Amino acid sequence: TRRTARAVVNVDLPGPQISRHLYGHFAEHLGRCIYGGFYVGPDSDIPNEAGIRLDVVEALRALNIPNLRWPGGCFADEYHWKDGIGPKDERPTMINTNWGDVEENNHFGTHEFMALCELLGAEPYVNGNVGSGTVREMSEWVEYLTRDGDNPMVRLRRANGREAPWRVPFWGIGNEAWGCGGNMRAEHYADLARRYATYCRDQAGNKLYRIAAGAHDRDYAWTEALMKALNPLGCTNRPRGYYQGISLHYYTLAGPWHAKGSATDFTEDDYYRTLAAARAMDEILAGHSRVMDCYDSGAQVGLVVDEWGTWWDVEPGTNPGFLFQQNTLRDALVASVTFDIFHQHARRVVMANIAQTVNVLQAMLLTEGNQLVRTPTYHVFEMNKGHQDAHNLSVHLSTEGTSRAYGEGELRGELETLSVSASVKDGDLLVSLTNLDAGEPVTVNFDLRGGVVADLTGRILTAAAIDGHNRPGEPDAVVPASFDGFTVADREAGAFGVGLTVELPPHSFVTLAGRVG
């Protein structure tokens, strides 16, 4: 029997806005993300502007990157920003102890990061150092970046060639304080977050959205400690505004941390297990949201998933500290189902950053010398960009036989293989559909109610096999194509709405764009 599902969408009942910041990115001083990825230096043969790779900028501009987090990650809590300003040949070097124990020459620093954000059209998200830095150091960094008038930090900035203050909307108060950010206990860190945040002041009209270093995975106790620190009086009262957001890190693996598996060489069971792990994001966001609701029923404090994505064993022969991995259609489908989940949690989840943009973990781009490869994940970000700042439309799915059993014994599991989300922005409708089934197509019968839908066009991302990927020499093996596997049904006279049938091939991601009126 053919696998079918029914989906009802009320196109005239838009829900919460899907912040464009859910499509944010992350660039750490790790492996070849910054050096060789974003930055090659002004003397490179690779076309660049003041050292920033222009092919990378051009590719990323097509994604409408809303914000970029930097300089870490774990690196953030050993980064001392004053080492990264002034003439490059006078900048001190350091050892990047977290990532490969390699020398960091600090040639990419504050000014270079702000120039990169300007080239990308992205808003900066600077992550400060709590683990090994001082309150003064962090507060001076905020002043250096955002203050106007006359003050020692402003004079220093001007001496380094930047007259006007920059705008920095997002500020991280440390990173993974329970781990590489200082191995702290939750209550101790919560007090530090309040203290550091106090001296990260809003300067010259710049308003900071301060993000406390939050939990990972299902550590709801950590989230609770951070919420309690904003609202000691208990449930449902208005939280204090020391920090406006709390982060969450969740990575998708097919197995345990010590055996994450290969990015490209995996079984069908590994594939399903990976996608089940990706879908667990839903339950994890619900868990953290429930805790936050208790202390902040009005959702004033945002949940910021500022690290997410797949994490595999590094590519054979590469530095284990550089976290360089290939990226297949499996990664792309992890991204597409994760976005569906983010859209559904748009009330509480205000921002997210995939780890990481270039050459590290689930990257958009892989570089090798002067070559550049767009990964399958890149194409999901591009195909989905119409959801940015659109309003989420609830999709009521009734699935019949679209779940898939996988694995054996203790590793047995069941995965729902259909995932759909929809949004509307100024009359533009975007529907995203993912069929995770490795071998079977699925038919989705839509009942689009409450409006007339016109001018539908489709695009599809798929590959001959679930491990399809792009590489130098074959950069376009997995790219979007136009898709016409849908029909708009005639409606009886007087019925208001549209019937739409979509035939999704196995392991595919499809977007349908149209106008709703």
Stretch that binds ligand AHR, among 69-77, 138-146, 255-263, 382-390 (CB under 6 A): 69-77
Least distance between ligand AHR and beta carbon 80 (Å)? 17
Q: How many residues bind ligand AHR (CB under 6 A)?
A: 10
In the bound state with ligand AHR, the residue whose beta carbon lies nearer, of 358 and 383, is 358
Least distance between ligand AHR and beta carbon 21 (Å)? 18
Catalytic-residue membership of 90:
no
Residues 267-276 as b/e (b if ≥16 CB within 10 A, e otherwise) read eebbbbbbbb
Residue nearest to ligand AHR (CB): 73
Stretch that binds ligand AHR, among 66-74, 103-111, 140-148, 490-498 (CB under 6 A): 66-74
Site pattern 269..308 for ligand AHR (x: CB under 6 A):
--------------------------------------x-
Is 408 strand, coil or helix? coil
When binding is defined by CB under 6 A, the residue of 176, 224, 340, 467 that contacts ligand AHR is: 176
* Residue 74 is a binding residue for ligand AHR (CB under 6 A): yes
Q: At what angle do helices 135-146 and 152-159 cross, to 10 degrees?
A: 60
* Residue 355 is a binding residue for ligand AHR (CB under 6 A): yes
Give residue 271's Cα distance to chain centre: 21
Tokens of 161: 């060639």
Catalytic-residue membership of 307:
yes
Phi and psi, residue 59, nearest 5°: -65, -40
- DSSP symbols for 90-101: GSPPEEETTTTT
Stretch that binds ligand AHR, among 68-76, 166-174, 258-266, 498-506 (CB under 6 A): 68-76
Least distance between ligand AHR and beta carbon 26 (Å)? 7
Q: At what angle do helices 110-120 and 135-146 cross, to 10 degrees?
A: 50
Measure the CA dihedral 360/321/260/285, to 10°: -60
Is 297 strand, coil or helix? coil
Least distance between ligand AHR and beta carbon 394 (Å)? 32
Least distance between ligand AHR and beta carbon 177 (Å)? 10
Question: Which letter does DSSP use for residue 160 in this model?
Answer: T
Which of 104, 140, 176, 382 is catalytic? The answer is 176
94: left (phi over 0), alpha (psi -120 to 50) or beta: beta
* Residue 28 is a binding residue for ligand AHR (CB under 6 A): yes
When binding is defined by CB under 6 A, the residue of 73, 109, 376, 497 that contacts ligand AHR is: 73
Least distance between ligand AHR and beta carbon 102 (Å)? 15
When binding is defined by CB under 6 A, the residue of 36, 37, 72, 245 that contacts ligand AHR is: 72
* Residue 331 is a binding residue for ligand AHR (CB under 6 A): no
* Residue 168 is a binding residue for ligand AHR (CB under 6 A): no
* Residue 219 is a binding residue for ligand AHR (CB under 6 A): no
The reply to whether omega before 287 is within 30° of 0 (cis) is: no
Burial class (CB in 10 A: 0-12, 13-18, 19+), 495: exposed
CB 138 within 8 A of CB 193: no
Residue from 302, 355, 310 nearest 337 by CA: 310
Tell me which residues are annotated as active site: 176, 307
Which chain residues interact with ligand AHR by CB under 6 A? 28, 72-74, 175-176, 307, 355-356, 361
